[in-house]
Structure 1
Amino acid sequence: MTHNTPLSPRPRPLHALADGRRRLMTVAQLRAHGVSAAETNEQCRPGGPWQQVLPNVVLLHAGPPTGEERLHAVLLYAGRDRSSGTPPGAGAGRTASVPVQPGAEHAPVPACAEAVITGLAALALHGFAAAPPLPSLDVIDILVPRLRRLRTTGCARIVRTAALPTAVEVTGVPVAPVARALADAVAEPADPGTVRELLREAVRDGHCEPAAVVRELNRARLLSRPHVVDAVDSLVAEGRALAEQRLYRMVREHALPEPVWNVDLRLPGGPHLGGVDAFWPEQAVAVELDTRAHREQEDDAARAEYARKREHLERLGITVVHLTPRKLRACPEHQAAVVRTALMAAGDREPAAYVVVLPR
């Protein structure tokens, strides 16, 4: 050997790995630190200081893993580790950071965003009170592309999908958006009361809109299950009530004139024109909340009915302002400005037809 021959890296002592930067490592990461497969197997023997918690994932201490460690183990199992010698292109995808585990003082463990936490574990990370805490979950659901060669094992339950949703980063962990996580949680057998409470909490606490949840449930073909249908009915009612409260608050906080609320409009001696959520008779301006969360087969009919009613009212000279719950929650000041502009423009329009206003 000449003085130009590079030296092999000196393997780190096994106790330094266990006590130092990481408490979870893949077999490939251990090999990169100079720990052979035989040494890893020796350390993971029954009663040994390490344990293999999932295929190719080693917990570098004895005793049961914490809830956070099980979560990180699932991410390492399903993620593509770039230090493992994976062929170029096989591990393509954005990487995300797994947070530091309790008691560790190290850089985040890399986990590929091609593996996304979903189901009840994702809802727990999103902060759902109705979701069981991570330590109590027997399995952790993880979304992977359909063609990945992974199997459900141990605490990792593989959920395959044709297209991964855009992950939301929660404390550095790639997590499915709430609507998708809810659908994956509901797909597993669950207590109807828990399903109903999870869906209600999603809307009540502003995690997502009812329509987004129903779209995901419909995509997963879950709307044929009776307890899911019952929960969706409660969800839509909850979303409607919250949207109405936001509309009341918007009118009062932005000093708009007080309308008449929740009324039906009818031509004198003529047909029913439809109901609106707020109406200013002097200015002939109506506000209608779109809180639809219909199943896919109902969407065309519902859209046609909405369009027919709006066109009929506008032919009579009534301005219809169309608001969605998402807009009311995200930018109420902008929605108030839209309504105010419609009210101020009333003087420049031809007088509207006279309509009868009835309580709804």
Structure 2
Amino acid sequence: MTHNTPLSPRPLRHLSEVHRRVLSAAQLRSHGVTTAELNERCRDGGPWRLLLPNVVLLHSGGPTSEERLHGALLYASRESTPGVPAQPRAGDPHRSPYPEAMITGLAALALYGFAAAPPLASADRVDVLVPRLRRLRSAGYVRVRRTAELPTAQAVSGVPVAPVRRALADAVARLTDADTVRLLLTEAVREGHCEPAALVRELNQARLLSRSHVVDAVESLVAEGRAAAEDRLYRLVGEHRLPDPVWNVDLRLPGGPYLGGVDAYWPEQAVAMELDTRAPHRDEDERWAEYTRKREHLERLGITVVHVTPRRLRESAEQQAAVVRTALMAAGDRDPAAYVVVLPR
């Protein structure tokens, strides 16, 4: 019997090609294969082989990368254990054939196309993400990762994959090479997979910011993310024909205290713009309180502060330009702002 031979009493025509080559023991039983028949076909030299516990490869050759991925998901899936078999349903594209399981870590990053991730063919491990309360152990080439709240999977090449931020955190948790960590994080930001602050927040939640090589990579990541956001801010001013501000300056009262730095300032209209590229830290509440105090102090002096994030600059530049233009136009209707000294940063 080959892997394409229909199994009685239910044929396999409704399954995709890879699902015909990799099936669980429960699924095989539902197709009429007895335990004795299964053991006979998976014996040494037999036509099938046991890929993982209760997961069978329906040919005797080595598994392909696709078969390894689907085997890992079948093993980790809630319905791959004895009970109701996990099978995709025709006409129901939103139902995952692998409930409560998704690929994460380096294998997920490879599926997303990360150049810094090793190719799937060379991966000796495949990480799968499952709910924390699942009773499931790592086995064979499958490494189980757990989470209190399972994120919404992304379908990549027909495979349910953890969101990039989570996949990166799971990958970084296993990596000790600083260069690899830095390359992965940098690629995630450069290719637009996620914002630096959101990525660092995920690493912080995974308790990875206590590792020195991760902290070093994050510092480079935040610096690069800020540089990219500043470049978008320069383009926003030029492309939307806003008046030229003075860039990257410190504000101070004459003979008085330091008020803080801003990314752009229009002295005649007393309008400041500040990029929020803060990365989460353990003292995040204190840092946010300090930022709020600075903003409130400037506004008490009559200076309008426009707060913008890198994501807004990238996704809604026209809207952000309109916010700045409105603030500049409204300057004539406000009371004159206090005089401040503007110094290069």
Answer whether contact 1:79 1:115 (CA < 8 A) is retained. yes
Q: Pick which of 285-294 and 118-127 moved more.
A: 118-127
1:308 is displaced (CA, Å) by 1.1
Which residue of structure 1 aligns with residue 39 of structure 2?
41
Q: Which residue is equivalent to 2:261?
A: 275
Match of 1:307 in 2: 292
2:23–2:57: 8 Å Cα contact kept in structure 1?
yes
Matched residue, 1:63: 61
Q: Contact 2:74–2:80 at 8 Å: present in 1 too?
A: no
1:354 aligns with 2:339: yes
2:18–2:67 Cα contact (<8 Å) kept: no
* 8 Å Cα contact 1:274-1:309 kept in structure 2: yes
- Give the secondary-structure state (helix, strand or coil) at the position aligned to 1:81: helix
Query: Does the CA contact (< 8 Å) of 2:18 and 2:70 recur in 1?
Result: no
Q: Structure 2 vs 1, CA of residues 83 and 180 (structure 1 numbering), >3 Å: closer, same or farther?
A: closer
Among 151, 157, 161, the residue aligned to 2:147: 161
Give TM-score scaled by structure 2 length: 0.90
**Which residue of 1 is the match for residue 302 of structure 2?**
317
The gaps in structure 1 that reach 5 residues or longer are 1-8, 99-106
- Alpha-carbon spacing, 1:18–1:59, altered in 2? closer, same or farther (3 Å): farther
CA spacing shift, 1:202–1:276, aligned 2, 3 Å: same
* Aligned-residue offset at 1:13: 9.0
CA distance in 1, matches of 2:22, 2:160: 18
Is contact 1:81–1:110 with CA below 8 Å preserved after alignment?
no
Distance 1:21 1:275 in 2: 58
The corresponding residue for 1:191 is 177
Output one character per residue of 1:280-317: Cα deviation in whole Å (capped at 9) or x when no partner. Answer: 1111111000100031x211111111111111111111
Check 1:96–1:290 CA distance in 2 against 1; reply closer, same or farther (3 A cut): farther
Whole-angstrom CA distance in 2 between matches of 1:149 and 1:223: 29
Does structure 2 retain, via aligned residues, the 8 Å contact 1:97–1:108?
A: no
Residues 148 and 331 of structure 1: is their aligned pair in 2 closer, same or farther, counting only changes over 3 Å? same
Counterpart residue number, 2:319: 334
Question: 1:119: which partner in 2?
Answer: 105
Measure the CA separation in 1 of the matches of 2:177 and 2:313.
33
Shift in alpha-carbon separation, 1:10–1:48, aligned structure 2, 3 A: closer
2:79 touches 2:99 (CA, 8 Å); kept in 1? no
Distance in 1 (alpha carbons) for counterparts of 2:222 and 2:35: 55
**Shift in Å at residue 170 of structure 1?**
2.1
Contact 1:32–1:83 (CA under 8 A) maintained in structure 2? no
1:233 aligns with 2:219: yes
Q: CA deviation at 1:228?
A: 0.9
Identity of aligned residues (%): 71
Aligned residues: 334
Equivalent residue, structure 1, for 2:243: 257
CA gap 1:350/1:329 in 2 versus in 1, 3 angstroms:
same
1:11 positional shift: 3.8
State the superposition RMSD in angstroms. Answer: 2.6
Q: Per the alignment, in what secondary structure is the counterpart of residue 235 of structure 1?
A: helix
Report the Cα offset of residue 18 of structure 1: 12
Q: Which amino acid aligns with 2:36?
A: A
Residues in 2 aligned to 1:269 and 1:292: alpha-carbon distance in whole angstroms: 30
Offset at residue 80 of structure 1 (A): 2.4
The code of the aligned residue for 2:55 comes to V
- Over 6 Å off, 4+ runs: 17-21, 95-98
1:135 pairs, out of 109, 121, 132, with 121
Check whether the contact 2:276–2:307 (CA below 8 A) recurs between aligned residues.
yes
CA-to-aligned-CA distance 1:141-173 (integer Å, 9 cap, x gap): 111112212111111101122221222222332
1:21 CA displacement: 6.8
Q: Look up the equivalent residue of 2:179 and give its one-letter code.
A: G
- By how many angstroms is 1:277 displaced? 0.4
CA distance in 2, matches of 1:61, 1:231: 44
Shift of 1:216: 1.8
Relative to structure 1, the CA distance from residue 269 to residue 254 in structure 2 (aligned partners, 3 Å threshold; closer, same or farther) is: same
Instruction: Tell me how far 1:336 sits from its aligned partner.
Output: 1.1
**Secondary structure class of the residue paired with 1:358:** strand
Whole-Å separation in 2 of the counterparts to 1:142 and 1:130: 20
Q: TM-score, normalised by structure 1?
A: 0.86
Q: Distance in 1 between matches of 2:10 and 2:257?
A: 84
Deviation (angstroms), 1:108: 11
What SS class does the counterpart of residue 127 from structure 2 fall into?
strand
Q: Is the 8 A contact 1:169 1:175 kept in 2?
A: yes
